[in-house]
Amino acid sequence: MGFSGRLTRPFDVPVDALASCALPPSGGYASARSKDEGYRLREIIRIGRVTSQVTGSKHEDEYAWNTVCISTIEDLDILGQITADRITAVLSVKRPFKGDPVFSIAGSRFENLRIAGERVDVEFHPQVERWAEDAVRRDPKFNLHTASPGFCLVTSAVASAKCSRVAEAPHIVDVPQFGRVVLGEYWITPYARSLTMFRAEMGCGFEGMFEGPNVGGNGVRYPPYP
């Protein structure tokens, strides 16, 4: 999914998910893109282009199912407070016919991200997926026999966001009289991952929440193998 959200003040306007696509369990290819003229919400949000694509297929030579999801926002501008030339989210999943899935977000990146006019250099945690795998193995909440339905671990794939406005966490940027920007939110379950590159929580004269790009995938076997 490329971009979505809802403005609640000074008026209530939902933003339908832009460039959203998904695959059936059997795999294949799907893609979506915003209109050529991009997206504009009054003078509040402007986006040049949004694209998404996903592919999934069985690889007999690798004894695995491989899936790749990519979603990109170009020329983002939210009230002049959040701007970026390009934001790209990438998730790849390799699911062996026998064994645990391997996830990677390599290639995810922010290009010329600015928050409140200040350049923000974002560094992703190089070992975030190794940490996620360890958490799944060690945390009893991930036990498939005892875990509560829908349980997931929410963290961030961002190790640092270099700017003067970072809040109490290295992936959260607070802007007075605007709101909060959360970077690289990463959702972890035993057999699935979801990455949202940014979420803007606006709490000023303009209120609402917007997020994107988002990629997600699972490593569940299909069809089931013995």
Question: What does the pLDDT look like over 52-71, one tens digit per residue?
Answer: 999 998 888 878 889 999 99
Question: What is the number of domains present in the chain?
Answer: 1
> Measuring CA to CA, how many Å separate 205 from each of 4, 45, 117?
20, 15, 19
Give CA 85 to chain center in angstroms: 17
pLDDT at residue 39, rounded to an integer:
92
Please tell me the number of Cα atoms within 13 Å of 144 on its side-chain side: 3
Rounded to two decimals, the pTM is 0.89
pLDDT at residue 226, rounded to an integer:
47
- Whether residue 226 lies inside any domain: the answer is no
Q: Which long-range contacts (CB under 8 A, 24 or more apart) does 82-85 make?
A: 82/113, 82/114, 82/115, 82/181, 82/198, 82/200, 83/112, 83/113, 83/114, 84/110, 84/111, 84/112, 84/113, 84/114, 85/111, 85/112
And the tokens for 53? Answer: 């694509």
Q: How far apart are CA 202 and CA 29, in angstroms?
A: 35
- Whether residue 223 lies inside any domain: the answer is no
Q: How far apart are CA 206 and CA 153, in angstroms?
A: 30
- Whether residue 225 lies inside any domain: the answer is no
- Whether residue 152 lies inside any domain: the answer is yes
Q: Which of 29, 66, 36, 67 is nearest to 51 (CA)?
A: 36
Give yes or no for residue 187 having a pLDDT over 80: yes
Q: Which domain holds residue 140?
A: 3-218
pLDDT tens-place string over residues 76-106: 999 999 999 999 999 999 988 888 888 999 9
pLDDT tens-place string over residues 142-183: 655 555 556 788 889 999 988 887 766 889 999 988 999 999
- Whether residue 72 lies inside any domain: the answer is yes
- Whether residue 82 lies inside any domain: the answer is yes
The average pLDDT across 10-29 equals: 91
Task: State the average pLDDT for the chain.
Answer: 88
Strands 64-78 and 45-59: antiparallel
